[in-house]
Structure 1
Amino acid sequence: MSTEAHEDRISSVSKKFGITPEDYMLPARHMINLLNVDGTLREESDQGTEPGHEYPLPSPAELMDAYSALAVGRRVNDQNSALVRQGRMAVYPSSHGQEACQVAAALCLEESDWLFPTYRDTVAVLTKGVAPMEVMTSFRGEWHCGYDPKAYNCAPMSTPLTTQLLHGVGVAHAAKLRGEKTVVVAMCGDGATSEGDFHEALNFAAVFKLPVIFFVQNNKYAISVPLSQQSAAPSLAHKAVGYGMAGERVDGNDLMALMAVMRRAVRLAREGNGPLLIEAHTYRMQAHTNADDDKRYREDSEVQEWIAKDPVTRMHAYLDDAGLLTEEAQAKITERAEAIAKKLRDGMNQDANTPPSELFEHVFASKTTQLAEQQALLADELAREEA
């Protein structure tokens, strides 16, 4: 794309919103936030909105569906943490406290759109429609991701840091070449924004004007490294400007604001306005994984501060006050969450019947000599054990 074409694109988008190109790309001065910590709706005068950054409220039905997914996500996080302690799951990176981000990421997409999650985005994958046991298969130590990505338009949960962003950009590029209206949401954490793959993904997406939403869950820590030691940028959303795309900051524990911001971003991408970067400010309430001791790098007082900002209790308070969350509705949501938790318990309590020889399948299209030798060596060892 020529310099003139790039400037024309940015100019046309900014004119659409009646603002300058600089204002379109720069995040709003105030982080987008619609619900106060106590669940009350912020007054319009308090929202700190600027031209081009106004967001309509989701409908009551949309909010109830989102809250149901949020409550299920919290129950699944708690259940999986218990399964790890029981030795039924090898590892689990809990997203307790980040569930609102993941619910919004999945619900903003249409069926034909694609989601590219990280290893921590189990709630997003569940909300996309993947069966609970299929989502958790990899965490019990099996070699495959557990579900068919093409069946759900949901990529495998990526353990390698940031590689999923490049894959998401590739899918968006292919869709654009085919003339499809597919939008991709590529998720990552704050630590991922320091990786080279992050730079390459954003640069390619911007140059080729691809319909990708880069959704950064800023949970303040890359394992034990705080954000202050990762980046000197004013915010992670400001990184978008350097690539010629718009960036926005949103309260990642405000489900209502997340839904509004993400749906606007998806609409803009689908209309051909190119990629956008959304930074959601949230917090990882529990350790990085069950192998991590978070008390070594953060104070309990910091965790307690974020407990007061819990996305589940905040949304519950709003819906209850609005008269939408009746006792009957809450009972149905709780029943659904418990049923899913039971499926996970029952499934994980059954030993996986995975032949060790499967370790050597699907590594290469044609098995290498070395791989065949290793497979024969393992087969011989197992045969001697059985003899």
Structure 2
Amino acid sequence: MYVATKGGERAIEAAHQWLAEARRGDPAVPELSIAQISEQMTLAVNRVMAEGSLYDPDLAALAIKQARGDLIEAIFLIRAYRTTLPRFGGALPVETDEMAVTRRISATFKDVPGGQVLGPTFDYTHRLLDFALMADGDAPQATRKPAETQPVPHILQLLDRDGLMEPLTQGEATPPDLTREPLEMPADRPLRLQALARGDEGFVLSMAYSTQRGYGRTHAFVGELRIGTCAVEMEIPELGFAVEIGEIELTECETVNQFTGSKTEPAQFTRGYGLVMGQSERKAISMSLVDRALRWDELGEENTGAPAQDAEFVLYHCDNIQATGFLEHIKLPHYVDFQSELELIRKLRRDAGAETCKEAAE
């Protein structure tokens, strides 16, 4: 006989205490500070901010600490906190042309205006464990030039000049805000980009990888990848002009994709676009590849049935908080449901046994 466990409230309280003890670890080891996480685990902090839709490095670091390093749990905490914040206005669109870049590369042109800026990257490391990091020594001092503060033109403007790149179009209507309104289908490009920007990095990466393996008929080049800070401005009605309220670090990626043309458009290059909060270039590149794959309809291309071309499949499954909630709810009590399944199986077995006996008797 299956019965419900007694004393559930006391058990849950004890589980919370055990969780706090497990999070702290050995008391003899110094506890991680929020500043340490924020300064030394920046890529994890950036991911939590991007997928949590809240730009605050300290709060993201706090969430990572509270979640014991489980980034999806930390993202959940940040999104939950975000819902408690009052909204007092909206910022103007950021101008990435005016980004103070710390990293800027192109895989399509070697010599570009402003030069290639490698910046802090794992691209040229040997992927060997650095055991020197186990010793608490002084941090190495890098030889680097300061961030480029002058406006740096986008590299794809070189193709724009020759008419080889599809023209940029500016929508007139303000796109819906995915953080305040539920996702609805069909979703236009601004809404798709919002969903991808805060989608799970691993899922978006897998979708992007599938397009590179042939599921989507797109062959992309990184036209430009740039990382840096942009000013955030807000219009103040009482003043009649915009004022800068802060800065935000962003990663932007534009990919160049071949387009053989259609009945209405000539052969040209098309764009994939990715923009993510913080330094998150893997996510930005993945986002741009998936964005391009999802544009098959508006470009008049054939839908090959690739998963990355299915907007409903991609957008409804890329959100890790929704996915986690649906997945993890199955570990909660389902005693009544299971009892009904159990009785059904027993009945089917009894009926099958009776039928077998009847056949044997005949």
Query: What is the TM-score when the length of structure 2 is the normalising length?
Result: 0.19
- Higher relative helix content: 1
TM-score normalized by the length of structure 1 = 0.18
- Higher radius of gyration, 1 or 2: 2
